[in-house]
Amino acid sequence: MIDDRRLDALPTAPGVYLFRDSKGDILYIGKAKSLRTRVRSYFRHDRNRGIRLQQLGHRAVDVDTIVVDSEAEALLLESNLIKEHRPRFNIQLRDDKRYPYVKVTVNEPFPRVWITRNVREDGARYFGPFTRVGALRQALEHLKRVHTVRSCRYRLPKEAPPRPCLDYHIHRCQAPCVGWQSREAYRADIDDLIHILEGNTTALRKEMEAEMRTAAVEHRFEDAGRFRDILAGIESLAREQLVERVDGGDQDVVGIARDGDDGAAVVLRIRRGTLLGRETHRFEGLAGDNDADLLQAFASRYYLGRGEVGIQELPAEILLPLEFEDRAVLEGVLGERAGRKVELRVPQRGGKVRLMELARTNARHVLEDRVAAEGDPEVAPDRADTLLYDLQERLGLKVVPRFIVCFDISHTGGTEVVASAVAFENGEPRKALYRHMRIRGDWGNDDYRSMAEAVERYLKRRLDENAPLPELIVIDGGKGQLSAVLPVLVALGTEEVAVCALAKKEEEVFLPGRRDPVRIPRRDPSLRLLQRVRNEAHRFAVSYNRKLRTKRTIRSELGDIPGVGPARQRALLTRFGSVHGVREAGPDGISRVPGFSRVLAERILEYLEGDTAS
């Protein structure tokens, strides 16, 4: 504890105090009208104080003070210091940026729909934020399938690929990019989707409930689980999009909710009578703090932490659920910084009370959904779609990379040069689409030219067969291999195919037109997907190279045996796989191969045994 003489010497002026422990670390930061009175209050023997404050009083061994001229200055300084030091005994306010929105670019001729965590005033419509991200993604993917909304990022019709992507071939899109769906028909699908995003989900819920029951009765439990997850996402759509237009002008409406030591705050942003969005925040370490403490901590740090642009965007009115000690001081500071009146009100009657209830309801849902999502392992995100959308974001791709092809080169000292092309669809290998090839060019160990030949032959065959092209080509290598492939894409007219190179040593991703590589965190699932694709291509290339070496070795050893020509060499290779296998088979095993007599079998073994002895 802090010595009484130290407490008696504290100033009586307004300011900020910082409690420190025996190591000098800051435990708590607060502000006071009178520093001496406020600091001494922590060391009174009051059983009504919460456990957190009692522990603070025991652990604090020193206090620093900063004197200022007014309570307003103390409030500003406290907010800045807490943001900088984040002391463990202060209420921990966390911005829930992990909660995404659904963005619909309604201001474009062919609107795009995707999940984003960045809300901007850009003419698009935003729905959310949503708390159960996995369920939301399941529901959105189902809606996009039903209404065939495109998932690419092209700004149609200004940007357009020469041919549709895999989404068209798997019936997820009707290819408006190449004019196969009219603008009017596409807009009708978008309008239907927006209608559901606004919360009009009754018909869709009934459809999913019926599908889930049917799947369960037919013992298709995996399908039933998927319909259940879609239904959970639809419930979130219905519940979280509670209102779009309200009466009134420009307002922020603050709601709070608590669950033990955890809490949540929601700010509804209403501008010109329209609910534009909802920001969510959460709290930790609330033991011993009441709702007024929570609201004061949130309001001070949320509004005082804004830059100049944020301050100028403040509404004229901020509605609060209850009074707190510094409400009048905070109101004065915000008004002074904004250069106009900003009123903080606790409404008592009328429509504003209903807005407060709406904010409180949203805060409760945020808290309940977070707890449910953390405690319910059954509600898991659609892994494949999550990975692919994350990879699209990481690499800045126009199209979701549902069809990925990776190339690798393998050779033995410049001989037996082969290439592999492995295909992944929706994050999983499609072995039926795997290809390997012997490099025709006499490039030796020139991996760059071999890689260019492999990519050219693969893409040319896909074009000749009128088959879907990959949305992403992954090259096993670095800048050199990537640069060698780019002219091939131009020559074939396939520039729309995205390409990247994954270098083994640092696991860096190189992209065309970028000098510096993209560094994806080592544990990020999107990097692990790229690594998995690259490793599979390497395995497939090496296995083919090894197979060719084995054939060459066997033929060189068997080719000198009288009576064993190319056809019989192939037969032995097919049946036994290696010279060792031929020896192990013995005369009985060899003579059972069509075209081989007992005499010939014994001659082959005699030759091989003599070759081994020599």
Specify whether 404 is located in the same domain as 511.
yes
Domain boundary among 188, 215, 240: 240
| Alpha carbon separation from 455 to 298, 475, 493 (Å, rounded) | 56, 9, 13
Specify whether 83 is located in the same domain as 21.
yes
**Does residue 95 belong to any structural domain of this protein?**
no
Burial of 216 (0-12, 13-18, 19+ CB in 10 A): middle
For residue 467, the surrounding DSSP H or E stretch is none
Mean pLDDT for 11-27 is 90
Specify whether 408 is located in the same domain as 541.
yes
How far apart CA 157 and CA 179 sit, in angstroms, is 9
Mean pLDDT for 371-380 is 39
How far apart CA 266 and CA 280 sit, in angstroms, is 5
Specify whether 353 is located in the same domain as 457.
no
| Alpha carbon separation from 544 to 286, 421, 501, 571 (Å, rounded) | 62, 11, 22, 19
**Single-letter code of the amino acid located at 14:** P
How far apart CA 519 and CA 346 sit, in angstroms, is 48
Answer whether 363's CB lies under 8 Å from 334's CB: no
How far apart CA 249 and CA 157 sit, in angstroms, is 37
Residue 573 or residue 35, greater confidence: 35
Residue 471 or residue 282, greater confidence: 471
* DSSP conformation class of 404: E
Answer whether 265's CB lies under 8 Å from 240's CB: no
Query: Looking at the DSSP assignment, which residues form a beta bridge with residue 502?
Result: 476, 509
Domain boundary among 186, 205, 240: 240
Residue 263 or residue 412, greater confidence: 263
Q: Which residues touch 170 (CB under 8 Å, ≥6 apart)?
A: 402
Q: Binning pLDDT at 50, 70 and 90, where does residue 356 land? A: confident
**Does residue 403 belong to any structural domain of this protein?**
yes
Percent of the chain at pLDDT > 70 equals 83
Q: Binning pLDDT at 50, 70 and 90, where does residue 435 land? A: very high
**Single-letter code of the amino acid located at 38:** R
Specify whether 412 is located in the same domain as 542.
yes
Q: Residues 134-185: pLDDT tens digits? A: 667 777 877 787 778 888 888 898 888 988 988 888 888 899 999 999 999 9
Q: Binning pLDDT at 50, 70 and 90, where does residue 243 land? A: very low
Residue with tokens 């549709």: 164
Q: What angle do CA 433, 438, 441 make, to 5 degrees?
A: 130
How far apart CA 35 and CA 18 sit, in angstroms, is 11
| Of the candidates 425, 422, 421, the residue with the CA atom closest to the CA atom of residue 451 | 421
Specify whether 540 is located in the same domain as 410.
yes
Residue 365 has pLDDT above 80, yes or no: no
How far apart CA 379 and CA 373 sit, in angstroms, is 7
Answer whether 418's CB lies under 8 Å from 462's CB: no
Percent of the chain at pLDDT > 90 equals 25
Q: Residues 467-502: pLDDT tens digits? A: 999 999 999 988 999 999 999 999 999 999 999 999
Domain boundary among 195, 212, 240: 240
Residue 114 has pLDDT above 50, yes or no: yes
Q: Residues 172-219: pLDDT tens digits? A: 889 999 999 999 999 988 988 887 777 677 777 788 788 888 988 888
In this predicted structure, what is the pLDDT of residue 471? 94
Q: What is the chain's alpha carbon radius of gyration, rounded to the nearest angstrom? A: 34
**Does residue 385 belong to any structural domain of this protein?**
no
Residue 427's CATH number:
3.30.420.340
**Does residue 390 belong to any structural domain of this protein?**
no
Answer whether 420's CB lies under 8 Å from 414's CB: no
Residue 374 or residue 468, greater confidence: 468
For residue 477, the surrounding DSSP H or E stretch is none
In this predicted structure, what is the pLDDT of residue 374? 44
Per-residue tokens: 52: 């957190």
Specify whether 207 is located in the same domain as 262.
no
Mean pLDDT for 362-382 is 53
Range of the domain at 260: 251-375
Specify whether 286 is located in the same domain as 208.
no
| Of the candidates 530, 470, 533, the residue with the CA atom closest to the CA atom of residue 497 | 470
Q: Which residues touch 594 (CB under 8 Å, ≥6 apart)?
A: 571
Residue 581's CATH number:
1.10.150.20
Answer whether 454's CB lies under 8 Å from 423's CB: no
| Of the candidates 385, 332, 373, the residue with the CA atom closest to the CA atom of residue 141 | 385
Q: What is the tally of helices (H) and strands (E) in the chain? A: 20, 19
Burial of 245 (0-12, 13-18, 19+ CB in 10 A): exposed
In this predicted structure, what is the pLDDT of residue 245? 41
Phi, psi of 471 (to 5 degrees): -80, -20
How far apart CA 367 and CA 489 sit, in angstroms, is 50
Answer whether 389's CB lies under 8 Å from 117's CB: no
**Does residue 388 belong to any structural domain of this protein?**
no
How far apart CA 50 and CA 56 sit, in angstroms, is 10
Domain count, the chain: 5
By DSSP bridging, strand 472-476 and strand 498-502 are: parallel
Q: Binning pLDDT at 50, 70 and 90, where does residue 414 land? A: low
Specify whether 401 is located in the same domain as 483.
yes
How far apart CA 66 and CA 75 sit, in angstroms, is 12
How far apart CA 535 and CA 491 sit, in angstroms, is 28
Q: Which residues touch 314 (CB under 8 Å, ≥6 apart)?
A: 252, 303, 306, 334, 338, 342
* DSSP conformation class of 133: H
Phi, psi of 378 (to 5 degrees): -70, -30
Answer whether 398's CB lies under 8 Å from 508's CB: no
In this predicted structure, what is the pLDDT of residue 382? 46
- Mean of the per-residue pLDDT values for the chain? 82
**Does residue 380 belong to any structural domain of this protein?**
no
* DSSP conformation class of 564: -
Burial of 169 (0-12, 13-18, 19+ CB in 10 A): middle
**Does residue 381 belong to any structural domain of this protein?**
no
**Does residue 520 belong to any structural domain of this protein?**
yes
Q: Which residues touch 325 (CB under 8 Å, ≥6 apart)?
A: 292, 296
Specify whether 167 is located in the same domain as 44.
no
Answer whether 465's CB lies under 8 Å from 433's CB: no
Specify whether 328 is located in the same domain as 361.
yes
Q: Residues 175-187: pLDDT tens digits? A: 999 999 999 999 9
